[in-house]
A and B are shown apart, each in its own frame.
Chain A
Amino acid sequence: MIYSEFIMDYSKLKKFVGKIENATKVEEGKNLSCGDEVTLYLLLDGNRIVDAKFEGHGCTISQASTNVMIEQIIGKTKEEALELLRNAENMILGKEFNEKLLGPILNFYDVKNYPMRVKCFLLPWKTLEMALK
Chain B
Amino acid sequence: MRSGVWSDKEWECIKSEIPVLDRTVNGKRLVYLDNAASTLKAKSVIDKMADFYLYHYSNIHRAVHTLASEATMAYEQAREKIGRFLNAQLGEVVFTSGTTMGINLLVNSFVRSGLLREGDVVLLTQVEHHANLVPWLRASKFHGFRIEYIQADEKGVILKEAIEKATSVKPKVVSITAQSNVTGQELPLNFVREAFPNAILIIDGAQLIPHKKIDVKALDIDFLVFSAHKMLGPTGVGVLYGKRELLERMEPFLYGGEMIDRVTFEDATFNVPPYKFEAGTPHIAGVVGFGYTLELLENLDLEKIEKQVEILSRYLIDSLSRLDFLELYGPLDDSHRSLVSFNVQGVHPHDVSHVLDQMFGVATRSGHHCAQPLMSILKRGSKIDFPNSTVRASVYFYNTFDDIDTLVEGLKFVRKMFSE
Contact = CB atoms under 8 A, between A and B. Distances in A.
- The answer to whether A and B come from one shared complex is yes
Interface string B373-416: 00100000000010111000000000000000000000000000
Given A34-B387, A36-B348, A116-B350, 12 more contacts: A3-B417, A34-B388, A34-B389, A35-B368, A35-B388, A37-B388, A58-B348, A59-B348, A59-B350, A59-B351, A114-B354, A120-B350
Contacts of B349: 34, 59
Interface string A7-37: 0000000000000000000000000011111
Interface string A78-117: 0000000000000000000000000000000000001011
Nearest to B367: A34
Sort chain B's interface into a size bin: 10 to 19
Contacts of B348: 36, 57-60
A36 B388 contact: yes
A11 to B, nearest CB: 9
Interface of A: 1-3, 33-37, 57-61, 114, 116-117, 120
Contact of B372 (A35, A57, A60): A35
B372 A3 contact: no
B311 interface: no
A92 to B, nearest CB: 16
Contacts of A37: 388
A28 B359 CA distance: 34
A6 to B, nearest CB: 15
Given A34-B367, A35-B388, A57-B388, A3 B350 contact: no
A35 B366 CA distance: 11
Interface of B: 348-351, 354-355, 358-359, 366-368, 372, 375, 385, 387-389, 417-418
B375 A35 contact: yes
B387 A57 contact: yes
Contact of B359 (A1, A33, A34, A61): A1
Nearest to A37: B388
A116 B348 CA distance: 14
Contacts of B368: 34-35
Contact of A35 (B354, B385, B389, B417): B389
Contacts of A117: 350, 354
Contacts of B375: 35
Nearest to B350: A59
A87 to B, nearest CB: 24
A57 B389 CA distance: 11
20 contacts: A1-B358, A1-B359, A3-B351, A33-B367, A34-B349, A34-B366, A34-B367, A35-B372, A35-B375, A35-B388, A36-B348, A36-B389, A57-B385, A57-B387, A58-B348, A59-B350, A61-B350, A114-B354, A117-B350, A120-B350
A60 B358 contact: no
A58 B387 CA distance: 7
Contacts of A3: 351, 355, 417
Residue from the set B359, B375, B385, B387 with the largest chain A CB neighbour count within 10 Å: B387
B359 to A, nearest CB: 7
Interface centre among B348, B349, B359, B385 (most CB of A within 10 A): B348
A120 B367 CA distance: 12
Contacts of B417: 3
Contacts of B385: 57
Nearest to B372: A35
A2 B351 CA distance: 10
A88 B387 CA distance: 26
B351 A60 contact: yes
Contacts of B388: 34-37, 57
Nearest to B420: A8
Given A3-B417, A57-B388, A35 B367 contact: yes
B27 to A, nearest CB: 12
Contacts of B350: 34, 59, 61, 116-117, 120
A115 B230 CA distance: 24
A34 to B, nearest CB: 5
Nearest to B376: A35
A2 B389 CA distance: 21
Name the residue in B351, B375, B389 with the highest tally of chain A Cβ atoms < 10 Å from its Cβ: B351
A22 B287 CA distance: 60
A116 to B, nearest CB: 7
Contacts of A1: 355, 358-359
Contacts of A116: 350
Nearest to A57: B387
B380 to A, nearest CB: 15
A120 B350 CA distance: 9
A31 to B, nearest CB: 9
Nearest 10 pairs of A and B residues by beta carbon: A59-B348, A35-B388, A59-B350, A34-B389, A34-B367, A60-B351, A35-B368, A59-B351, A35-B389, A1-B358
